[in-house]
Amino acid sequence: MFRLRQFYLNHLKRKMFNKIVVLYSTVMIVLFAIAATLVYQYQTQRILREQTDANLKSAHVLNIYLSRQYEGIQNIFQQIYGDATLSDELIYFLNNEYESYLKYRLDLYTRTGEQRLRSFNNLLKNYLEQESSAKSVSIYSYPNNFYMHISRTNQQLNNEAGSKNKWETWFARREQHSWDTMPQNESSRSSGGSSPRSYSYSRELKDPWTLNRVGMMNVEFDARQISSWLESRASVKGRILVLNAQGTVIYDSEDEYYGQTYPYNLEQEKAGDWVQLDEPSKVNILNVGNAGLSVVGIVSQSLIEESTESLRTGLILVTLVFMAASFAITFTIVRKFSKKVQRIIRSMNRIGEGDLSTRIQMSGEDELQQISRRFNDMGDRLEQYIDKMYTSEIKQKNAELVALQSQINPHFLYNTLESIRMKAYFVGAKEVGQMIYSLSVMFKNMVKKSTVVTVEEEMDMCSVYLDLFRIRYDGRLETEIEVDPEIQSASIIKLLVQPIVENYIVHGFRPLEDNNKISVRAYGAGDRVVIVVSDNGTGIPEEKLPQIRGTLNKVLQPPEKGHRSIGLMNVHERIVLNYGNDYGVTINSTEGQGTEVRMEIPMLRKGETT
């Protein structure tokens, strides 16, 4: 959780362009997802309509096919019962032995003298030749318990004595089912056998005079012809079923429910509705005229999903490609602007750190380029202003120093101190005379108009100043001054070291102790002069040291009203104003152990400038 929060803070909350990329990418992902969903739904509905229409067309084609079959069968019965000769022959055939029937035929031929005698036998053979889907016609005699099987290739008479009960059961089934499947065990009575995927139409044969049931005619059809018919005239989509009036499946394009009662009740369903079968499916139901058959077209949801699988995969791939391309383009554009903004931020930070020469180089004509141009203009004006203020401050500080020096009448003060010193010698106060001499030397040097002296001269002034306090405290102050001979002639601003020593006398000296010590060392460090003033005084409290260091960093700040002392801040400001921000004063101190003040100025010979 912590890492997630850190990631959010570092890469999102504090990064405006990252938030733009994430927001834009999120919007684009949502839009692409919505667009892909809408396209998918539209295409799915289109495919569903196409599949349903194709399935309905197949159902119509099969409806026509079955209607023609039914009409062909009915035409046979009309011809038989519409022709007295044919009907009498058929009834005689069913009510008598086959030998009697043959004699009947011979007598009829003799009596009529026709060369081509009409017979139901020839009628049925002609029907088989014309109807390619019909495999055979069987005529069953109930009184004599035999049947005649007629196919395209042969004609067979079969008399199974003692099987009346079996035939009665078979008759009873056919009375209830005009259309039915033709299982192998029933159709195999034919000489050539029968396909297990056959269906038949059965109709009772009655004596037109007595209306007694004398037999049954059964026409067997090859179910494979339905598939061939559909494939040649329609693009079959989904499942096609043919059900008889009792719901038995006499044809199944997927060969699953053939010969079984269809497990779902479709009587109350409307065409085109979604119906829960094995799975949600669209159902079309057509009735085959008066034939007692129903053609059912089924388009399952799995078929639709299978048909739309490639569409779904394609849409996903296209959507992902567009998302990736959109993200890449957005990221590239935003990254370009982000780099420009980062360049502006870095330049602002460098200006804030004091590098006033920083400028932004940026091409283009957009808002960021305008900001960069204005930034550069501001930098130019700021640099000019700082230069102007820098020169003004130097002049002001020099004027203040000269004013401080000019407050004392140098000749009057010097002559007065010399008179006092001689008087002290006359009365035997040699230490007082020495102190007055040191003081007069200091004032004599201070009133000189030059503000730049050598390191050697500055160290001599510091030595004279320390002599005053060494005499005053009589053995309680030890002083040490070391100057590297190589830098003695280097130039330095006057009165840089003395204020630091004065700070020690005022704030760090311990008058009740006799081990006070202060040392001043001046040496060269490359192209710099380093002056270190260290003491073993009271030091600075730990909580005040950061405040003093912070004050040193506030260069060029106007002094407080009434402030006239030349202290640590004054020394640091004068170094920075004269030599730049790379030079100045640093301080380290430990309370109770002492303080070390370090000054760094450039190595310049008299007359040279930075």
* DSSP one-letter string for 279-324: SEEEEEEEE-TTSS-EEEEEEEHHHHHHHHHHHHHHHHHHHHHHHH
Q: What is the mean pLDDT of residues 278-300?
A: 85
Angle formed by the axes of helices 301-352 and 16-82, nearest 10°: 170
Integer Cα distance of 562 and 304 in angstroms: 95
pLDDT attached to residue 189: 45
Structure tokens at 245: 């009036």
Q: Is residue 601 pLDDT above 90, yes or no?
A: yes
b/e map 218-245, b = 16+ CB within 10 Å = bbbbbbebbbebbeeebebbbbbbbbbe
pLDDT attached to residue 162: 47
Integer Cα distance of 282 and 557 in angstroms: 89
Integer Cα distance of 393 and 326 in angstroms: 58
- The label of the residue with tokens 């020169």 reads 391
pLDDT attached to residue 585: 94
- pLDDT band for 3, please (50, 70, 90 cuts): low
- 175 or 599, higher pLDDT: 599
**Cα Rg of the chain (Å, integer):** 62
Give bridge partners of residue 148 from the DSSP assignment: 139, 157
- 380 or 185, higher pLDDT: 380
pLDDT attached to residue 322: 84
pLDDT attached to residue 522: 95
Integer Cα distance of 166 and 218 in angstroms: 16
pLDDT attached to residue 190: 43
- 609 or 492, higher pLDDT: 492
Q: What is the mean pLDDT of residues 37-61?
A: 84
DSSP state of 606: T
Integer Cα distance of 272 and 49 in angstroms: 10
Compute, in degrees rounded to 10, the torsion defined by CA atoms 532, 533, 538, 540: -50
| Tens digit of each residue's pLDDT (9 = 90 or more) over 82-124 | 888 888 888 988 898 888 888 888 887 777 655 456 788 888 8
Integer Cα distance of 521 and 511 in angstroms: 24
Give the start-to-end residue ranges of the domains of the chain.
Answer: 11-335, 450-602
Could you tell me the CA-to-CA distances from 478 to 429, 453, 532, 534 in Å, in that order? 22, 26, 16, 12
- pLDDT band for 147, please (50, 70, 90 cuts): confident
Of 255, 86, 257, 291, nearest in space to 178 by CA: 291
Of 476, 477, 448, nearest in space to 461 by CA: 448
Mean pLDDT over the full length of the chain: 79
Q: Is residue 561 pLDDT above 60, yes or no?
A: no
Q: What is the mean pLDDT of residues 149-174?
A: 66
Q: What is the mean pLDDT of residues 264-288?
A: 77
Structure tokens at 269: 């369903």
Q: What is the mean pLDDT of residues 376-384?
A: 81
450-602 CATH: 3.30.565.10
| Tens digit of each residue's pLDDT (9 = 90 or more) over 226-242 | 888 888 776 777 888 89
- 46 or 14, higher pLDDT: 46
pLDDT attached to residue 483: 94
Q: Is residue 204 pLDDT above 60, yes or no?
A: yes
